[in-house]
């Protein structure tokens, strides 16, 4: 879109220059009048071009701001999704760790119970 607008602005400028030159060639006047006419025509064309460039600059600024806002929204959305996934993973890891810890404690308790039972049976045999 920027490329089309730059062609448009260039076309307007070129048309203004060609039109001013044609007007000067087909409308003869004195040297002072011609210089005054050229100066005022150039000033008008310059002012027109300045206004168009200024308008294009505002348009471009608005497009960039819109793109920035869209990008910021997407980044915030992705960041939120990533944070949610990280929290889910942390919760899964915590749950798995708790399950492992519980199973490990059960195995230790079974080992302790087996050791105590063996000790009790050894004591009973020794007492007999």
Express each pLDDT in 31-41 by its tens digit. 677 678 778 88
Which positions ≥6 away from 38 have C-beta within 8 Å? 20, 24
Q: pLDDT tens-digit profile of 69-107?
A: 999 999 999 999 999 999 999 999 999 999 999 999 988
**What is the structure's pLDDT at 67?**
95
Per-residue buried b or exposed e for 75-92, using 16+ beta carbons within 10 Å of the residue's own CB: eeeeeeeeeeeeeeeeee
The pTM of the full predicted model, rounded to 2 decimals, is 0.46
So where are the chain's domains?
A: 2-127
């Amino acid at each position: 879109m920027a490329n089309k607008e730059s062609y448009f602005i260039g076309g307007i400028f070129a048309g203004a220059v060609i039109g001013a030159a044609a007007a000067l060639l087909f409308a003869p006047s004195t040297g002072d009048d011609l210089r005054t006419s050229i100066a005022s025509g150039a000033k008008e064309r310059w002012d027109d071009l300045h206004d168009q460039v200024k308008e294009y600059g505002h348009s471009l600024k608005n497009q960039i701001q819109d793109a920035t806002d869209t990008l910021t929204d997407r980044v915030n959305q992705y960041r939120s999704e990533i944070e949610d996934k990280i929290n889910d993973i942390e919760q899964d890891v915590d749950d798995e760790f708790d399950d492992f810890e519980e199973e490990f404690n059960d195995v230790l308790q079974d080992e302790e119970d087996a050791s105590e039972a063996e000790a009790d049976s050894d004591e009973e045999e020794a007492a007999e």
